[in-house]
Structure 1
Amino acid sequence: MYGQCGGKSSSIFAPPLNCPTDRHAVQPTSMHRARLVEVCGEAFRDRAACCDIDQLDALQSQIKVAQNVVNACPACWNNMLSFFCEFSCSPDQSTFVNVTATQVSPQTGKHIVTRTDIYVDPAFGRAFYDSCKEVKFPADNLFVMDLIGGGAKNYEEMLAFMGQERLGGSPFQLDFPRQSPARPMRPLAPKAHHCNDTSAASRCSCIDCGAVCPVLEPLPTTPASCHIGRWSCLNVALFIAYVLMVLGVVAGGAAVRRGYFGRDTEGFERVPHEPEEAVQLSTGTGTSDHDSIDEASTMAGWQACSQRFFYRLGVCCASNPAEVILSSLLITGFLSLGWSRFAVDTAPEKLWVSPTSSVARQKAFFDRHFAPFYRTQQIIITSAHDAPNGSVIMEDNLRLLFRLESAIAALSVADPSTDAARNITLADLCLKPTEQGCVVQSVTGYWAGDEEQFSAERWRDDFDSCTHQPSACLPDFGQPIKPDMILGGFDDSDYREAKALFVTYVLRNSLDEAYVARAMRWEQAFVDFMRGLPHNPAFNTSNVIVDFSSEISIEQELNQSSNTDINTVIISYVAMLLYVSLALGRLFRAGSMRRVAVESKFLLGIGGILIVLASIMASVGFFSFMGRRCTLIIAEVIPFLVLAVGVDNVFILVQEFQRQTDDAREARDDASVAERCGRTLARMGPGILLSALAETLAFGLGGFVDMPAVSSFAMYAALAVWLDFMLQVTCFIAFLALDAERTEDDRIDCCPWLRVDAVDDKPDSDGFIEQFFERTYAPFLLQRRVKLSVILAFIALFFACITQIPHLTLGLDQRVALPDDSYLIRYFNHLDAYFRTGPPVYFVVEGGQPTERAGQQQLCGRFSSCHTLSLANVLEQERKRPQVSRIAQPAAIWLDDFFHWLNPLADMCCRVRRSNPDAFCDAWDDEDACEPCFASRDPPWNITLHGMPEDDEFLRYLDHWLNSVPDEQCPLAGAAAYKDAITIDRSSKAVIASHFRTFHTPVRSQTDYIEAYRSAKRIADELSHETGYPVFPYSVFYLFFAQYIDIVPLTVRLLSIAVLAIGLVAWLLLASLSTALIVMACVVMIVVDVIGVMSVWQVSLNAVSLVNLMICIGISVEFCCHLARAFLIESGGRNQRAYRALIDVGSSVFSGITITKLIGIGVLAFSRSKIFVIYYFRVYLAIVVLGALHGLILLPVLLSLIGDGDGGDGDGDDATGTRRQASAADEDFHEPDDDRIVIMNR
């Protein structure tokens, strides 16, 4: 081939093609030689040539674009230049080039070459490919191979792509046969240049050549989990321990039966059911009536004082109900005044992280210096039918997309910030990096978003060309659109088989509330338009599935979920209220309807519920006044918690009062209502104090953690529980006294002004539950064999749950928080299934001193004097181990691109006027009037950084670079990629901050998100250490997932502190270390079992479930502490005391908290929100069931076996089951006018 003989078509745009010839190479003239050396280098200074000057001009123009992107790696550029120069001008061209097709040019009538075979030596081909495969185009986080080789994976694919005849590619078809040519032809084999050559003329930097990169220290490997066969070592150890325990119990039991250790003196004897005689207890003298406590009591002195206090309090409140209720209303009303400052935090940055936490401060820094992360709207289109291979790449679908995007661009809404009749459109809000078009990442961008350019005949070729070389099909906003951003569901580079189309609208974000309001107004119009799309006659979507999401979608859908959940919560509370009212009234034991109307406790139940609500209102009001905002977790969880605690105490107080009344009636004791209220509170008040104080302390300690959602809950809950306790021992006692007087006066519940005739059919003293506990359940449970079986069963359950804890996952899938019918669920499903690109991550350098040489060397990567472990080099090395770094793409190193933009070889980039070197040229200025910025610089531009701009000169060039728009002639201009990446302080003439962008690997699960953040944080810490500058990572999702970095140790710390606090309070108030330890053990087992159930039921650990675990601590105390205290104050041996405790308190716990909460929880199962079903129904059901099992089965068994041996002053072997034969410390209080009191046995 020699010379040019015209174009392939008659179009004036058809490039001239080579002439076929069969002549020897020519010796160039001096001018020809000079041009040849200028284009192809010194290798052609003494050689003949098969190309003329016109061919050299065409060659230079064709490879100039490639030079701008590959010259950062000299080896790649030298190999590319050598290859194309040898092909075009080598005097031995005929030995490796075979012309396979020609035609006559319609322009000149001469023959032109239209197709050739080129034989390339495989060794050179591999060296050529290897020298270019790692070269980056950082501005767009691309590899140069994506641009020059179509993402080739080997040299054959690279050469085949280079040889394709297409617009922006080869002007005629070049084929590269793999077989060796027949002699005398031989493959082209010029000298190959390697990126790690020692010669500076070819050696590349670490960024573009892995062979010269430093090797990062390997990360500490996580020790492989220990396994024995398919079983983990933990499971095996627990199994062996349990087997040994069972064997020990069996052996011990056998030894006892054979008499080796004597007989058990604590065997259980069935309690007779006949009424016993009354027992009269004498009191000492010399004390006032109200202060008399039997000296035989074994309770500590301060416990006796607490009983005196509660007795007096009960009498006082019952004697003055109006004053007590009014005072309670005034106090709670005063505290509730804070509701005037009530506000709810829904912003995630105010829920999951503390404002003082590092991730919150980093987000604020990023927003302040670079603007908040973009507001994104995204559309996903998939095929609705089983198309061939499921591909969505069809002409009809693409045309639908053109029309859809046009309609969205035309959406307009009124501007809410102005009174003028001004409408807002997409163009007013979108990101415009070059001010020439909105950033809309869509396949339609390959045709500039213009359907008229979409040809039915050529669209497939255009699609193939643009997906393999995006830089040749730039959209209006001037940045290449990578196929991975707009297509999904394809294998390798088979883009035509894509199963999903993605359209992403990128809107600017701002700290300006007025702008955000305008953006939200337009986004609402976008959502409305997309939701109505299936019913829009202008769009036929029958063949596709269209999913979408907007920036406002998540918040809107979550609010909708919360609104639907309100009804569920209300129904749950109403169901519990109805049960409480019915159960407290003993209605099923009344003998007639008149008695039912009197015995009903509906008003009393409402009073108990109102006390719960009042405590919540007062707690919220107090903290609102203090400026602590409420959260959705508090609104959904606190009522459940306080109601659980409150209802339990209501049952205990009411049922104990009923027992006192029954006992007084049987003993013909005319004790007043106030006296009976005092006795009730004296007996049960200390236990209620124990539970309330333990829960308040446990929750209060949680207020010191850094996670606002948890700390706010803890503080609100602590105060609400304490206020509920205060109101229950005062206001509820007043309610109880009023209700008792109404009942004894035979007045109708809810209508106390109506009275019925007195009837004698009073309710039986014991109901079904009490009788079941007394006659069946307690005797059965406390048999020796049953107790041992219970111990072994609960230990087995405990061990089984421990084995599940390692499988507990972290996170909160946002789909769980959405209503079942939310359009976002299918959107997220398709996003996870098809989207191939992870979220962007920015490594932000605070300061960094890039205006100084030392700072430049710490940041750069493409210059020989860059530090070995500079920021650019470390990020590049981390990219090469994506399985641990979670980084998928080359980082955009603005400093490298800026300095390469100054390279005079890129003669259309940085230019100054020849007449005034201080004045920059723009793209439209006359080329003859301009020259490259560094064309005459001394020292010249070089890869050592020597002579590169610093200080004021650096900022002057930087300003011009950041305002230069990239184009085909100068893709390194910085306006599109870096304008928002650098913050400059003009007053101090310094760079305050800059970021370096890359992308995570695809994140599809909660674990992926957590590990991506963990890896980015590790890399940033490494960069800070190596560069000496503060570096932190930022991505839009970090705020949500930062909590999981330390949520496991936080959970362990919170629960441990809570359990220890409960144990300490129990020890102090029970005066029994052994009983306190038993309570602690039961609480720990309940919590561990709940965590194990969470793992089995796929309930992840997050802030919501952590709050639920804290609730588990509180409710566990309710199940355990009342029964434990009842055990201590009873007389007799351990079995007798456990029996009495089960009868007196266990039945109240079962009928109160267990059944009440099961009724309320059952309603939650029908919630439309998965978050309620998973995180509330499942977890609360586990808490209640496991709490009841441990509190009503395991705890009494433990107490009967190893509980405190010092009971009341009854005989330890007495199995008569007296209610409290020696309970003077608990009940033997004197009436004011009597020095004796009769306490009845049940």
Structure 2
Amino acid sequence: MSTKSDSEIDMDGPGSFCRARNPTGTNSQTNSMTSLQKISLAITGSMEKFFYRWGFFVATHPLKAISCCLLITSICGLGIFNFTMENRPDKLWIPRNSEFAQNTEWIRATFPSPIRTSFAIVTADNVLVPEVMRVILNIHERVKQIEVTGGKNWESLCYKLPITKFLSKRKRRSIGQAYLHSNSTTNSHTGLQILSNDFDDAFDDEFFSENSTLKPQTSESGFSQLFVVPDEFYCSIVNELDAACWEVSPAELWSFDKSLIDNLTQEEIIRVVNHELISPIFGRSVNYTAEFGGNIVRNDLGEVISAGSVLLRWSIGINQTLLQEGRVVTDKTGEVADDDCLEWELKWIDLMKNISKDMPPGINTYFVNSQSWMEISEATILDDGMQLAMGFIIMFFYVGIMLGKFNVVEQRPLLTIAGLSCVGLACVVSYGLCSLCFIVYGPVNKILPFLLLGIGIDDMFVIMQCWNNLFSSPLTNKSKLSIPERMGMAMKHAGVSITVTSLTDVAAFGVGASTIMPGLQSFCIYAAVGIIAVFLLQATFFVACFALDQKRVEDRRNAFFLWIKYKEDEFIPNSWSQESYLQTLFNRILAKYLFTPWAKITVILITLSMLGVTMYGNTLLRQEFDPMWFLPSDSYMSKYVEKRETYYPGTGYPSFLVANQVNWSESFQSFDRVLNDLKSSDAIYNLENWYDDFKEYSNANFDTNIPNRPLTPSKFQKYMGKFLYSPAGSKHRPYFKSDGNFSCGESLPPLKTVVMPFRFRKFNGPQEHIPALRKVKSLLKTANMTFNHHESPKFFVTGTGLVAWETDNIINAELYRNVSLSLLCVLVTTFLLLANFRICDYATHIALAFMTCTGSRESRAKQALKNIGPAVLNGGFSTFLAIILLAGSKSHAFQSFFKIFSVVIVCGLFHGLIFLPVLLSIFGPEPYPFAYSRDHELFDAFKPQKVVEMKPLQNSQVQVEVKDSSNANNPLFSTNNNLAPLLLCSREFESQVQRTQQ
């Protein structure tokens, strides 16, 4: 009888197995360790002890563990009641504290738009034919029939324009006369029409022009009818104008008269659209040739005789009373609306969907409105749910095959369901906790369940692989160890591996959460929380279910019908079901041939070639961002945008100059210089220039000399009030917001905000539009404008289409920043835990197995590949299966994610299973101190040898016996058992071990 010293017996904890260590050389090995190796060993050893105890505890109390997991998940899931989905591009891809984001929010609150516009494009080989005109009239009539709650229809909801036939003889009808409302009072809450729509200008200056080209328009004459008739008479006419619904449609040229349109000829259509330039409804000049697009053909006279498309518009007005009282609602794009408007827009979308299906052959309709983005985003949730359900079904079959064996007892369908349930529970935890913390859910987050599915399955395979390495055939080779003890041993090794990979994932996403882009930040936070949740659930919920399922297996119960129990002689597993063919692939093929000299040379050459190709590919990387990528490519909105780009490519990008609290009487010279610079810039397509119109009007009628001689504030307000109700200036009136109301003939109250619409020219990518935007911003910052002594003096450029440009401006720096920091965090994490900075993720499992083996570098690399290689391959392939359904996604963003992630998986598996083992066999670091030798490797097949077993005695002493492992009656020493290098330390007798000499 004898006992061993501390250097010979290492006890890892209650009820644990202890490694038999070589008593010689222990101190020298410890002394030769670096500080980092000591830290790493301490961390790894602590984790091993923790996970042994954790596995033992969970397997001892599986029902309690399962109940706790479900309870905690349910509590976390309550946060989903605070779930908020965000789809506004400026809220997702622009830094919250950026000037652009603040200005966008300010303009929405200060200058809300009173109008919402719906658009449709009708295409055909030639739209100037009777068939197309009848289709357009049919659309008009069906839109008029839309009714919302309370019986309101198009006539009661539309945005009405005044009928101004008395002014139709002017040389050019200004756009502004469209705004001579029947109520001539202009209030301080009049909004910016354009900002109510993300897709086009609500008011097209070219449409109200007699010119038939798409060139920028010149300014009005300074002549004013206020000097032809007295103010009182002129304003009385304005106050009594009738109004009609504003709908831009070529059918307007025939007053929407069905009898006339049904009898049209192509010649008549061509004549009217080219020469009948006065609207029979409004009496204003119109230019419908500006609404034609595509392949426009003109004859020798310059007449448009053929076009591929025509643009239609319907404008509905927001209830002005509600708008002034602040009782309007904000839709999910951030724009104001009332309930009737929102309901009408949704019904319009449904109608246009039906109309587009019933188009005659050769004629197509594409449409969009302010509700489209949100309507499509919500509709895709169902599609995402279907894809996720299909993904779970595919994973169920794959995981079921890989976890179980092909017999009715050792198949594991219930355990497969439990493992997949961890992913669903992790999603609930992630969504609940993040929603509870008011973290919004963006479009990128839809990928999260697929990501967690791949990561969760990976953890499950590692746990299962470690179990199989230790206890491969529990039915044919029974173990004396209890299920909790065996589960503790499996988790002792699997827990460290999945902890390292999970920590690296969390570190990478945690760094991503520091990004300045809110949409990406949201995704990273959701992902980090989800990864932590799936890790904890796999280590607890899955392990508990595993313990219960293992008890079922050892009780020989049917895997599908649990009430069927087989006796020992009734069920003997067939031999082929006990084979792991994937393990055989690694043992007999990959580990055998991968380490030959020629194979190593080939692998290194292939890796270097891949490195060269990818480095060259990075030089071709093109920066671009478009929020439309998050919508399905076959959605009606995507199709509309595509056709808009195809048929109307030269119209440029609508934007606005916004000036708030500017002292205009002292700023004309500065503003004049800014506008001259903009007009001379090759970045600007056209400018709706109220300043030049006002300057010409005032200098011609009031003998002023703007900008050379400043106006007094009182004169500026007086002349501006007349200008905004004149034919020359009325088109600009919606873009002025004053401190109070004013009517025709009155002086303008103190001016607060002025907006000037303009268009950037068409650009070819960020390399052009980023410098153009920077140039405009620079001009405004150096404009030297004089501001009033009020809060919020502003002078900036904005526009809904500029969101993508602002994102392009920061995304390049964010890309390299986040990738670099993520790589650094992964390296630091693995370096601290494994004392090696050359591995991550897939490679982590191989490296960890390599570091725990002794022997030559090549033998350790082979052993590591055999031990954990199958689990790594299963994990990688299962991750690919988790995202494979994204390959059929209609979203460009999700298709790109699938392509990129697939390449990451393939490269990760190649580096982890092929390149890293070859590299380790040549340059691998020294193993951990006290690592298992090859003969004593925990995962290796046991060779008969002598081991030490400790037995309790009644006098509180410990008897240590040397037993021959060839004892066939003791499963602990069976040649088929992998526990030879371990000492069985009974939990209840651990405290009885005394340190005496043999």
**TM interval, short-chain normalised:** 0.7 to 0.9
Distance in 2 (alpha carbons) for counterparts of 1:294 and 1:1068: 26
Mapped pair 1:992 → 2:752: yes
Q: Cα 1:1171–1:353, aligned 2, differ >3 Å: closer, same or farther?
A: same
- How many Å apart are 1:662 and its aligned residue? 3.5
Contact 1:369-1:983 at 8 Å conserved across structures: no
Contact 2:95-2:101 at 8 Å conserved across structures: yes
Distance in 1 (alpha carbons) for counterparts of 2:753 and 2:80: 42
Q: Cα 1:1160–1:430, aligned 2, differ >3 Å: closer, same or farther?
A: farther
Mapped pair 1:841 → 2:582: no
Q: Which of 979, 1004, 1021 is 2:733 aligned to? A: 979
Match of 2:423 in 1: 612
Contact 1:1123-1:1145 at 8 Å conserved across structures: yes
Q: Which of 377, 386, 411 is 2:118 aligned to? A: 377
Distance in 2 (alpha carbons) for counterparts of 1:1210 and 1:1010: 56
Contact 2:851-2:931 at 8 Å conserved across structures: no
Q: Which amino acid aligns with 1:991?
A: L
Match of 2:881 in 1: 1159
Mapped pair 1:652 → 2:462: yes
- How many Å apart are 1:762 and its aligned residue? 6.8
Q: Which has the larger radius of gyration?
A: 1
Q: Which amino acid aligns with 1:1129?
A: T
Distance in 2 (alpha carbons) for counterparts of 1:308 and 1:735: 22
Match of 2:515 in 1: 705
Q: Which amino acid aligns with 1:1020?
A: K
Distance in 2 (alpha carbons) for counterparts of 1:628 and 1:421: 40
- How many Å apart are 1:681 and its aligned residue? 1.2
- How many Å apart are 1:1204 and its aligned residue? 0.8
- Write the deviation string for residues 1007-1042 of structure 1: whole angstroms up to 9, x where unpaired: 548844652343123222233574322222223443
Match of 1:770 in 2: 583
- Write the deviation string for residues 18-68 of structure 1: whole angstroms up to 9, x where unpaired: xxxxxxxxxxxxxxxxxxxxxxxxxxxxxxxxxxxxxxxxxxxxxxxxxxx
Match of 1:393 in 2: 128
Match of 1:1020 in 2: 777
Q: Which of 355, 365, 374 is 1:555 aligned to? A: 374
- Write the deviation string for residues 919-964 of structure 1: whole angstroms up to 9, x where unpaired: xxxxxxxxxxxxxxx3xxxxx3335542x53313322332333234
Q: Which amino acid aligns with 2:705?
A: N
Q: Which of 688, 695, 699 is 1:899 aligned to? A: 695
Match of 2:814 in 1: 1050
- How many Å apart are 1:282 and its aligned residue? 10
Distance in 2 (alpha carbons) for counterparts of 1:405 and 1:893: 35
- Write the deviation string for residues 885-935 of structure 1: whole angstroms up to 9, x where unpaired: 2x212x223233223223445xxxxxxxxxxxxxxxxxxxxxxxxxxxx3x
Q: Which amino acid aligns with 1:1179?
A: I
Contact 1:293-1:304 at 8 Å conserved across structures: no
Distance in 1 (alpha carbons) for counterparts of 2:948 and 2:341: 73
- After TM superposition, the structure 1 = structure 2 runs for residues 746-825 of structure 1, keeping only pairs within 5 Å, are 746-758=556-568, 759-761=571-573, 766-811=579-624, 817=630, 819=632, 822-824=635-637
Match of 1:368 in 2: 109
Distance in 2 (alpha carbons) for counterparts of 1:630 and 1:817: 14
Other structure's SS at 1:754 match? coil
- Where does the alignment leave 5 or more consecutive residues of structure 2 unmatched? 30-36, 162-177, 182-242, 330-335, 742-747, 787-793, 953-957, 962-971, 982-998
Match of 2:829 in 1: 1065
Distance in 2 (alpha carbons) for counterparts of 1:775 and 1:715: 43
- How many Å apart are 1:1050 and its aligned residue? 0.8
Mapped pair 1:723 → 2:533: yes
Match of 2:872 in 1: 1149
Distance in 1 (alpha carbons) for counterparts of 2:706 and 2:628: 51
Q: Which amino acid aligns with 1:846?
A: N
Q: Which of 425, 432, 454 is 2:155 aligned to? A: 425
- After TM superposition, the structure 1 = structure 2 runs for residues 499-578 of structure 1, keeping only pairs within 5 Å, are 499-508=308-317, 512-513=328-329, 515-533=337-355, 541=360, 544-578=363-397
Mapped pair 1:859 → 2:622: no
Q: Cα 1:1180–1:1206, aligned 2, differ >3 Å: closer, same or farther?
A: closer
Query: In terms of mean alpha carbon deviation, does 1049-1058 or 540-549 score higher?
Result: 540-549
Q: Cα 1:476–1:786, aligned 2, differ >3 Å: closer, same or farther?
A: same
Query: In terms of mean alpha carbon deviation, does 981-990 or 669-678 score higher?
Result: 981-990
- After TM superposition, the structure 1 = structure 2 runs for residues 1092-1111 of structure 1, keeping only pairs within 5 Å, are none
Higher relative contact order (CA 8 A, sep 6+): 2
Q: Cα 1:1211–1:558, aligned 2, differ >3 Å: closer, same or farther?
A: closer
- How many Å apart are 1:571 and its aligned residue? 0.9
Distance in 2 (alpha carbons) for counterparts of 1:799 and 1:535: 50
- How many Å apart are 1:314 and its aligned residue? 1.6
Contact 1:1010-1:1042 at 8 Å conserved across structures: no
Distance in 2 (alpha carbons) for counterparts of 1:335 and 1:625: 8
Match of 2:63 in 1: 322
Q: Which of 432, 457, 462 is 1:621 aligned to? A: 432
Other structure's SS at 1:1027 match? coil
Match of 2:857 in 1: 1134
Distance in 2 (alpha carbons) for counterparts of 1:1079 and 1:285: 32
- After TM superposition, the structure 1 = structure 2 runs for residues 24-173 of structure 1, keeping only pairs within 5 Å, are none
- How many Å apart are 1:1146 and its aligned residue? 0.8
Match of 2:839 in 1: 1079
- Write the deviation string for residues 659-705 of structure 1: whole angstroms up to 9, x where unpaired: 22248999975122111111111122111111111111211121122
Match of 2:223 in 1: none
- How many Å apart are 1:529 and its aligned residue? 3.7
- Write the deviation string for residues 758-796 of structure 1: whole angstroms up to 9, x where unpaired: 234376765111111011111211222211211111121
- How many Å apart are 1:320 and its aligned residue? 1.9
Cα-Cα RMSD: 3.8
Q: Which of 719, 722, 733 is 1:960 aligned to? A: 722
Contact 1:983-1:994 at 8 Å conserved across structures: yes
Contact 1:487-1:495 at 8 Å conserved across structures: no
Query: In terms of mean alpha carbon deviation, does 1228-1237 or 1197-1206 score higher?
Result: 1228-1237
Mapped pair 1:413 → 2:129: no
Distance in 2 (alpha carbons) for counterparts of 1:477 and 1:732: 75
Q: Cα 1:410–1:732, aligned 2, differ >3 Å: closer, same or farther?
A: closer
- Write the deviation string for residues 1079-1107 of structure 1: whole angstroms up to 9, x where unpaired: 15xxxxxxxxxxxxxxxxxxxxxxxxxxx
- How many Å apart are 1:1127 and its aligned residue? 0.9
Count of matched residue pairs: 826
Q: Cα 1:1120–1:1210, aligned 2, differ >3 Å: closer, same or farther?
A: closer
Q: Cα 1:327–1:482, aligned 2, differ >3 Å: closer, same or farther?
A: same
Other structure's SS at 1:598 match? coil
Q: Which of 903, 908, 915 is 1:1182 aligned to? A: 903
Match of 2:969 in 1: none
- Write the deviation string for residues 54-92 of structure 1: whole angstroms up to 9, x where unpaired: xxxxxxxxxxxxxxxxxxxxxxxxxxxxxxxxxxxxxxx
Match of 1:583 in 2: 402
Contact 2:143-2:154 at 8 Å conserved across structures: no
TM-score (norm 1): 0.61
Q: Which amino acid aligns with 1:393?
A: L
Match of 1:874 in 2: 677
Other structure's SS at 2:757 match? strand
Identity percentage of aligned residues: 22
Contact 2:469-2:939 at 8 Å conserved across structures: no
- How many Å apart are 1:875 and its aligned residue? 1.0
Q: Which amino acid aligns with 1:1123?
A: I
Contact 1:370-1:981 at 8 Å conserved across structures: no
- How many Å apart are 1:439 and its aligned residue? 4.5
Distance in 2 (alpha carbons) for counterparts of 1:697 and 1:644: 18
Q: Which amino acid aligns with 1:888?
A: Y
- Where does the alignment leave 5 or more consecutive residues of structure 1 unmatched? 1-279, 385-390, 588-595, 861-869, 906-933, 935-939, 967-971, 1081-1116
Contact 1:687-1:1122 at 8 Å conserved across structures: yes
Contact 1:441-1:481 at 8 Å conserved across structures: no
- Write the deviation string for residues 944-986 of structure 1: whole angstroms up to 9, x where unpaired: 542x53313322332333234x2xxxxx1x22x2122122234
